Amino acid sequence: MAVYTEVSTEQVRALLLELKLGKLQHMQGCAGGIENTNYFVSTRRDGQSHDYVLTLFERLSFAQLPFYLRLMKHLAQRGIPVPDPTANTKGELVFELQGKPAAVVNKLRGQSELAPTPEHCAAVGATLARMHLAGRDFALTQPNLRGLSWWNETAPVVLPELDTAQATLLRRELTYQNEVAASSAYAALPRGPIHTDLFRDNVMFETLDGKPQLSGFFDFYFAGVDSWIFDLAVCLNDWSVELETGTHQAQRAHSLLRSYSQVRALSQAELELLPAMLRGGALRFWISRLWDYHQPRAASLLKAHDPSHFERVLRNRVEYPLPSAAMLQPA
């Protein structure tokens, strides 16, 4: 989240009135993330306070947004804990503020867990599997816009910023991922709508009776139709990786992967390609963070991510590949 486009309280009040969400009490720009403009908004309705997130989309178009918002509503209606977009009386979910597409969703309870335990990872794995299954009958389709074709297009843009060793790593890994994508095993992977960005700061937890309880997944604005195992690999590359070193944490990985597979069993093709998808997930975020870091956009609130983290993760995934069977065993 960030603030690229300023909006006035009068504009927000008018939108809240249209959506029948109550009287504006407070609004505050959000500093986290890098893609869109976000505000936390509090209202008063029926004698109670309600909290929402107002998002202005800086890169996504009016035509693209129905996929993301309808997917969130589809999942919410099937009991998956995700933000539920608010519609107006015409059923529309996308609005216009300052010439930008905008949407309002309910704010999830709880907070992100930045130092997850195996218990947190188990909850994420099970909920991710439920989410994948719930999305099977979603009618809209859109490719993963940050998938392999985007890596191929963006790599030449960031290569001039790299030293010789980094450039060699990026070129070799991109070649490898293109070879994987051309394989019959890759073609056999089960697919559907995926989150593609389910890092620990995109999941909320509450503490109930002294135990963590997952209260929601959010930030679906990179979602697309792609392989479920890629989504799982992206998740593992954050939840089961040491942030300081990029090294694999076996106990957390086992907990997340085992809980996922208890809800949705992994196919043979998925088990075979999980190590390759872990590498692909690391490459995707190394390229995107290099791109954001070296070609920044102006914003009144913005915190850039460090590209070197996913370079370390990628090097670890290449140098110490873990068979899927090993990850399914307790550490």
Confidence of residue 322 (pLDDT cuts 50, 70, 90): confident
> Tens of pLDDT along 210-269?
899 999 999 999 999 999 999 999 999 999 999 999 999 999 999 999 999 999 999 999
- Cβ burial, residue 84 (10 Å; 0-12/13-18/19+): middle
Closest among 57, 255, 59, 295 to 156, alpha carbons compared:
295
CA atoms within 13 A on the CB side of 96: 5
CA atoms within 13 A on the CB side of 159: 15
Please say if the pLDDT value at position 283 is more than 60: yes
- Residue 28 phi, psi dihedral angles, 5° rounding: -145, 130
Q: Identify the pLDDT of residue 68.
A: 97
> Tens of pLDDT along 148-167?
999 999 999 999 999 999 99
Confidence of residue 31 (pLDDT cuts 50, 70, 90): confident
Q: Identify the pLDDT of residue 301.
A: 44
CB 328 within 8 A of CB 257: yes
**Strand-pair partners of 42:** 26, 51
Domains of the chain: 9-106 (3.30.200.20), 118-327 (3.90.1200.10)
Closest among 97, 193, 188 to 143, alpha carbons compared:
193
> Tens of pLDDT along 41-88?
999 999 999 999 999 999 899 999 999 999 999 999 999 999 999 999
**pLDDT above 70 coverage of the chain, percent:** 95
Q: Identify the pLDDT of residue 300.
A: 45
Q: Identify the pLDDT of residue 327.
A: 78
Tell me the average pLDDT across 280-284. 98
Q: Identify the pLDDT of residue 328.
A: 75
Q: Identify the pLDDT of residue 1.
A: 42
Mean pLDDT of all residues belonging to the chain: 93
Number of residues assigned to the chain: 331
**Strand-pair partners of 206:** 213
Residue linked to tokens 């504006």? 24
Cα separation of 25 and 50, whole Å?
A: 9
Cα separation of 307 and 147, whole Å?
A: 18
Confidence of residue 113 (pLDDT cuts 50, 70, 90): very high
This prediction has a pTM of: 0.93
